[in-house]
């Protein structure tokens, strides 16, 4: 954003400079031409008056000396012709011998008692000329004509120097505009960047983040104040929600535990006819207890956003979870194999243990007898670089592509059957939230040879 603002400032400054300097340069050239033409006219009339007496037979004057002296003093060329256009004197003759200028338009006009001024290109000299031609006369009798001309190279050189001055002034102005533009852009964009950072932190779960309201334009300060007010309200709502979930979970645990104990007491005194109903009721109570615990864990997982975790050795972590679940697996005729591969992942031990417990419980629910449940760590390449993939692979019935896409939704289950180890539909949602809280993500893939491969993609 700073670059865009700076580019805008410089573009506007450049447009203003062009709008100002181009007319200045063109006007300067016109003024120089007008000044030169006025000076030439003045000199031409003075010389014409001086030479008229000599051409009328009065005091003789060396015309060549007059022309040469004028050129030496002013760098202008003087051509003097008689009434028929024959050259009497030329301060810068282009060729030796007699010449006639009666065909030159300005000379013809002067011999016709008219003052001729203007500019034209000289094919002889290969340059532009500014000229003034005036008649040399006494009364109504034209004795000849005098032409004073200057090369436009002198004017062009002055104009070029003026252009250089204007260009230098423009560059200095652009440099100053760039410096001021950077300062102004930073003054505007820094509070916006901090506001964006605060919004990002809140989006990642750090609800205590606030924007800076002491710097920047008034509009940005007002926006930051409104953002902070919204953040405060959001934190209050989320905190109230968490408190409600925690209180509800705590309050529900007591009656559910009491209800389970009463059902167990009834089971002792009941006959065989009622035992199945009591067992079903007790299973429902256990399921409700797991659901309450799952809701509380999910609420906590949504707010979990600590510092960047360190690197955890996966060999020991996987072996530990495999040993913890081995007795349950043996009851179901399933064996658990753990291979960490000497790898380390950027995660915490508590998060990984809780996630693996959920995935292993789900896998044992569907794993057939005499199958192997594999816990394995590998490396994979992703768009963000190399990551550590922790696999929990079973050889159960697996899931379809559509089922794998919906598996992380809350309260979604592949079937209505409820297992002994889970079945609330919250386990995978909790897994995803916990993994995301430490910068990773969870995926479900089809396992080779059938079954499901639950993968945790963690930082390296």
Task: Check whether residue 406 and residue 293 sit in a common domain.
Answer: no
Residues 332 and 349 in one domain: yes
Q: Of the residues 249, 280, 303, which one is the last residue of a structural domain? A: 303
Place of tokens 């539909």: 425
Pair 322, 340: CB distance under 8 Å: no
Record the tokens describing residue 441, joined without a space. 């993500």
pLDDT at 267: 72
| CATH number, residue 272 | 1.10.287.130
Nearest to 31 by CA among 166, 122, 169, 159: 159
Please tell me whether residue 54 adopts helix, strand or coil conformation.
Answer: helix
When divided into structural domains, the chain yields a total of 3
Residue 44 has a pLDDT of: 92
Residues in the chain: 460
Q: Which residues of the chain have pLDDT under 70?
A: 1-2, 122-126, 249-250, 253, 269-273, 287, 290-291, 293-308, 411, 413-425
Work out the end-to-end distance of the chain between its first and last CA atoms, rounded to an integer number of angstroms.
Answer: 33
* 247 in the same domain as 293: yes
Task: Give pLDDT, residue 303.
Answer: 56
Q: Which domain holds residue 424?
A: 308-458
Tokens matching residue 150: 């200057």
Query: Among 102, 136, 133, 138, which residue's Cα sits nearest to residue 118?
Result: 133
Pair 24, 49 in one domain: yes
* Last residue in a domain, options 118, 141, 157: 157
**What is the chain's alpha carbon radius of gyration, rounded to the nearest angstrom?**
50
**Same-domain check for residues 102 and 240:** no
Nearest in space to 431 (alpha carbons), one of 367, 370, 361, 369: 361
Residue 143 per-residue DSSP state: E
How confident is the model at residue 373, as a pLDDT?
95
Helices (H), 102-147: 105-111
Whole-number pLDDT of residue 420: 47
pTM metric for this prediction? 0.47
CB-CB neighbours of 288 under 10 Å? 16
Residues 439 and 313 in one domain: yes
């Amino acid at each position: 954003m700073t670059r865009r603002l700076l580019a805008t400032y410089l573009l506007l400054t450049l447009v203003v400079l062009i709008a100002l300097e181009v007319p200045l340069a063109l006007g300067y050239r016109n003024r120089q031409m007008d000044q030169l033409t006025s000076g030439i006219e003045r000199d031409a009339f003075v010389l014409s008056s001086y030479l008229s007496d000599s051409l009328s037979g009065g005091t003789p004057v060396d015309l060549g000396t007059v022309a040469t002296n004028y050129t030496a003093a002013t760098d202008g060329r003087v051509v003097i012709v008689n009434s028929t256009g024959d050259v009497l004197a030329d301060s810068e003759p282009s060729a030796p011998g007699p010449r006639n200028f009666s065909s030159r338009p300005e000379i013809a006009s002067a011999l016709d008692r008219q003052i001729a001024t203007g500019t034209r290109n000289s094919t002889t000299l290969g340059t532009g000329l500014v000229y003034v031609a005036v008649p040399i006369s006494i009364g109504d009798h034209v004795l000849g004509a005098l032409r004073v001309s200057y090369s436009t190279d002198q004017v062009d050189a002055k104009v070029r120097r003026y252009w250089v001055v204007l260009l230098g002034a423009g560059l200095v102005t652009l440099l100053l505009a760039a410096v001021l533009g950077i300062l102004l852009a930073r003054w505007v964009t820094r509070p916006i960047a901090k506001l964006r950072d605060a919004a990002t932190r809140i989006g990642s779960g750090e609800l205590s983040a606030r924007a800076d309201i002491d710097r920047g334009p008034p509009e940005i300060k007002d926006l930051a104040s409104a953002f902070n007010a919204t953040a405060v309200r959001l934190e209050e709502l989320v905190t109230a929600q968490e408190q409600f979930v925690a209180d509800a979970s705590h309050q529900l645990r007591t009656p559910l535990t009491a209800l389970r104990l009463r059902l167990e007491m009834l089971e002792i005194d009941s006959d065989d006819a009622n035992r199945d109903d009591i067992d079903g009721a007790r299973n429902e109570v256990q399921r409700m207890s797991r659901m309450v615990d799952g809701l509380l864990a999910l609420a906590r997982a949504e707010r979990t956003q600590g510092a960047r975790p360190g690197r955890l050795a996966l060999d020991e972590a996987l072996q530990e979870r495999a040993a913890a679940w081995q007795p349950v697996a043996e009851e179901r005729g399933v064996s658990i194999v753990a291979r960490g591969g000497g790898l380390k992942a950027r995660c915490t031990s508590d998060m990984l243990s809780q996630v693996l417990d959920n995935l292993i419980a789900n896998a044992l629910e569907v794993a057939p007898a005499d199958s192997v449940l594999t816990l394995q760590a590998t490396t994979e390449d992703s768009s963000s670089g190399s990551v550590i993939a922790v696999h929990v692979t079973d050889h159960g019935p697996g899931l379809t592509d559509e089922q794998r896409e919906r598996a992380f939704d809350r309260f979604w289950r592949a079937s209505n059957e409820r297992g002994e180890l889970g079945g609330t539909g919250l386990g995978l949602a909790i897994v995803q939230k916990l993994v995301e809280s430490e910068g990773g993500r969870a995926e479900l893939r089809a396992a080779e040879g059938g079954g499901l491969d639950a993968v945790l993609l963690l930082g390296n």
